[in-house]
Each structure stands twice: as structure tokens, then as C-alpha cells.
């Protein structure tokens, strides 16, 4: 089976490629624009595989994508601008990648009669004070990032209805694990704690997310690719709701660092209080189950970063910035 992965130099995409290549019957082409979240080092362990091919390019490039999709059996679209802070500062790149890019792939796979998996997010449902979203919950995005992901889903649904496009949508909660972009909460906390720098927490640190280990997410996407029903969407969650302050304290405890490193800073505009999704459908229909507990996954993640000192030493100004959405140069 020949699979085209977009955004495969990023956090989740690279973990997915490594997982798929363990199957010797799978060949992968990775199209990535090599933007700020991309890192070839993420795939250093498989870069010489004769079943892996890298193509630099943007998913909005119709000619490029037509050529690459013609050579594959299916496309898994991980490519996206995904950092909410950056979408607040400048939403335009998010419109181009998350809407225009997804549409380019969608239109081509429809004409070429290929399968597509669109990797979306729980953020399309917006903040939920008490409820838990299922696949029928209405969209209510709060950030420019979430709005672009919701727009892509609506485009896909229109193509499924109008043209019977073979597309499966997955939505996942917050991922963590090896190879994550350093501006995200967990790797940022690990890096700053390792250097005994102050760790900024937005607001009071009470915002709640459902955290899932990246390898468990990749298992779910693989199941959706191979066995997901065309036109369906599947929510993926770990039923592991934890607030940001608790997460930072857990990391500090594992790393034997003092809680005095915590520094509360101004909250981000439009910061959703809580996300929550049910993964009952994908569990019942496809047999997916979470394998990694939060405690186990967090310890594995911290150890991975500590075992890769070159990553810990490569700190950008954005990682150090306690309120990065304010900086127009990020």
C-alpha cells in the first residue's frame, strides 16, 4: 500500500510515519513545506529507508499534489498551521494551509478516486463547561485556528454529500509525546524546567484539556485509514482531563524541580476553558483503545527530551516568551 502523508516532518505526522513503516508492505511519500513546526531530525531513524520518500512542497500547490496523489492509494493530511497563539497574531497562514490546502487535496482525491483521512481537532467544538462532545455536537470554534479546521471539515462534508468523496475525519484531543514542537505546553515546560527558567502559565492555570499520548493517537488514525467508514468522523480521546497547572506541577515533580519556577502570566485572548470529547464511537466501531496512561506517557516524554540534549539546547525566543501571541515577530 502506498500512502501519501502531508506534514510528516511535524510532531504527529512523524510519529505516524515511524509507526506505519514498521509494516513492510507500506510505502510512504511525505510532502512537507518545511515550515516552523517541521524538523527532518524527527525522522532521522527512517530517513534511509527505501520505502520512504520526501518531497518538499506546499499542499496548496495543485500541480504538485496532483502528481503525488496519482502515485498513492490514500492520503493522510496532517499538514496544518496548528499553534493557537500564532493564529491570534496572524490568521492568514492558517487560512491558506488549513482551508485552501485541505481543499486542494480534497478536490484531487475526489477526481482521482482516492481515500483521504483529514486529521482535525477537538477545538472545533469550542469550550465546553460541563458537556462532552460526540460526533454530532455542533461546531463552536473560538480561535482562528479552530475556525479554519472547522471550515475544512464543512468543505469535506459538502464533497462527501455532493460527490461521494471517500474521506474519513478524525478529531483528537491534546497530544503529547516525543518530537512535539517546542512551543507547546509540555515540551516548553520540560525545556524551561531543565534550565531552571521561569515557566509561564496563562491565567490561573485552570484551563482543562484531555491529554493523549501521541502513539495512541497514531493507532487510531491508522484504524481510520484502513477500516474507517467513508463519510464518517471519529473522535479520539483518552478520557484524561487535566488542567494546565496540574500538568506543570507533575512535570516539575518528575524532574525534581521546585514549584517556585511557576509564573502566572496574562491569559491568552479567547482561551477556551475546557475541551472534552467521547471516543465511544471509534472504540465500538473500530476497536480502538488507549494503551498509555498519562503518568507513563509523561515520564516517557520527559525522558525522551532529556535523552536528546541537542533539542533542549535549541531554544527559540518564542519558547522563552511568556506571552508569544503579543509578538508580531514570532
CA dist 48 → 13, 24, 43, 109, 121 (Å): 18, 14, 10, 28, 32
Residue 272 has pLDDT above 90, yes or no: no
**pLDDT tens column, 8-41:** 999 999 999 999 999 999 999 999 999 888 999 9
Residue 329 has pLDDT above 70, yes or no: no
Mean residue pLDDT across the chain = 94
Q: Is 159 a catalytic residue?
A: no
Backbone phi, then psi, for 202, in 5-degree steps?
-70, 135
Q: Can you give the three-state secondary structure of 40-62, one letter per residue?
A: HHHHCCCCCCCCEEEEECCCCCH
Show the cell assigned to 141: 470554534
pLDDT value, residue 233: 98
- Triad 173, 177, 182: Cα angle to 5°: 95
Residue 314 has pLDDT above 80, yes or no: no
From 39, 122, 183, 210, the catalytic residue: 122
**pLDDT tens column, 228-251:** 999 999 999 999 999 999 999 999
Q: Which of the 8 DSSP states describes residue 101?
A: I
From 27, 32, 123, 210, the catalytic residue: 123
Which residue, 154, 163, 59, 155, is CA-closest to 112? Answer: 163
Residue 77 has pLDDT above 80, yes or no: yes
pLDDT value, residue 248: 98
Residue 299 near residue 254 (C-beta atoms within 8 A):
yes
Residue 128 has pLDDT above 60, yes or no: yes
Axis-axis angle for helices 62-70, 102-112 (nearest 10): 40
pLDDT exceeding 90 applies to what percent of the chain?
A: 82
pTM, two decimal places? 0.94
pLDDT value, residue 330: 45
Residue 328 has pLDDT above 60, yes or no: no
Residue 313 has pLDDT above 80, yes or no: no
State the Cα–Cα distance between residues 11 and 7, nearest whole angstrom. Answer: 9
State the Cα–Cα distance between residues 78 and 240, nearest whole angstrom. Answer: 23
State the Cα–Cα distance between residues 37 and 81, nearest whole angstrom. Answer: 8
Q: How many C-beta atoms lie closer than 10 Å to residue 66's C-beta?
A: 14
Average of pLDDT values for 178-199? 93
Show the cell assigned to 212: 493523549
List, in order of start, the domains of the chain with CATH numbers.
Answer: 2-176+212-236 (3.40.50.720), 185-209+242-274+295-326 (3.90.25.10)
Average of pLDDT values for 105-134? 96
- Picking from 44-58, 60-74, 192-206, 262-276, which range would have the lowest pLDDT averaged per residue? 262-276
pLDDT value, residue 156: 98
From 39, 85, 145, 159, the catalytic residue: 145
CA dist 280 → 44, 123, 177, 204, 289 (Å): 35, 18, 23, 31, 10
Q: Is 122 a catalytic residue?
A: yes
Q: Report the number of secondary-structure helices (H) and strands (E) in the chain.
A: 13, 12
Q: Is 241 a catalytic residue?
A: no
- Triad 246, 250, 255: Cα angle to 5°: 150
Backbone phi, then psi, for 50, in 5-degree steps?
-80, 0
Amino acid at each position: 500500500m502506498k500512502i501519501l502523508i502531508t506534514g510528516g516532518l511535524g510532531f504527529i505526522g512523524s510519529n505516524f510515519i515511524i509507526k506505519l513503516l514498521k509494516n513492510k508492505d507500506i510505502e510512504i511519500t511525505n510532502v512537507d513545506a518545511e515550515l516552523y513546526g517541521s524538523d527532518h531530525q524527527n525522522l532521522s531513524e527512517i530517513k534511509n529507508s527505501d520505502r520512504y520518500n520526501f518531497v518538499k512542497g506546499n499542499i496548496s500547490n495543485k500541480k504538485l499534489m496532483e502528481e503525488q496523489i496519482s502515485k498513492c492509494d490514500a492520503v493522510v493530511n496532517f499538514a496544518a498551521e496548528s499553534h493557537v497563539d500564532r493564529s491570534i497574531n496572524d490568521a492568514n497562514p492558517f487560512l491558506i494551509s488549513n482551508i485552501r490546502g485541505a481543499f486542494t487535496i480534497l478536490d484531487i482525491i475526489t477526481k482521482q478516486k482516492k481515500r483521504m483521512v483529514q486529521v482535525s481537532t477537538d477545538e472545533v467544538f469550542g469550550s465546553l463547561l460541563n458537556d462532552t462532545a460526540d460526533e454530532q455536537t455542533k461546531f463552536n470554534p473560538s480561535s482562528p485556528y479552530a475556525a479554519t479546521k472547522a471550515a475544512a471539515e464543512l468543505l469535506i462534508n459538502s464533497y462527501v454529500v455532493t460527490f461521494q468523496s471517500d474521506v474519513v475525519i478524525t478529531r483528537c484531543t491534546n497530544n503529547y509525546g516525543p518530537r512535539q514542537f517546542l512551543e507547546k505546553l509540555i515540551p516548553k515546560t520540560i525545556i524551561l524546567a531543565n534550565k531552571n527558567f521561569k515557566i509561564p502559565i496563562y491565567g490561573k492555570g485552570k484551563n482543562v484539556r484531555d491529554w493523549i499520548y501521541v502513539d495512541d493517537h497514531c493507532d487510531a488514525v491508522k484504524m481510520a485509514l484502513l477500516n474507517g467508514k467513508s463519510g464518517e468522523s471519529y473522535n479520539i480521546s483518552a478520557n484524561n482531563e487535566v488542567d494546565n497547572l496540574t500538568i506543570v506541577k507533575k512535570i516539575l515533580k518528575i524532574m525534581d524541580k521546585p514549584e517556585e519556577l511557576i509564573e502566572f502570566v496574562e491569559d491568552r485572548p479567547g482561551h477556551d476553558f475546557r475541551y472534552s470529547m467521547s471516543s465511544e464511537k471509534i472504540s465500538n466501531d473500530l476497536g480502538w483503545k488507549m494503551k498509555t496512561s498519562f503518568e507513563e506517557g509523561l515520564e516517557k516524554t520527559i525522558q525522551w527530551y532529556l535523552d536528546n540534549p541537542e533539542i533542549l539546547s535549541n531554544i527559540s525566543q518564542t519558547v522563552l516568551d511568556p506571552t508569544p501571541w503579543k509578538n508580531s515577530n514570532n
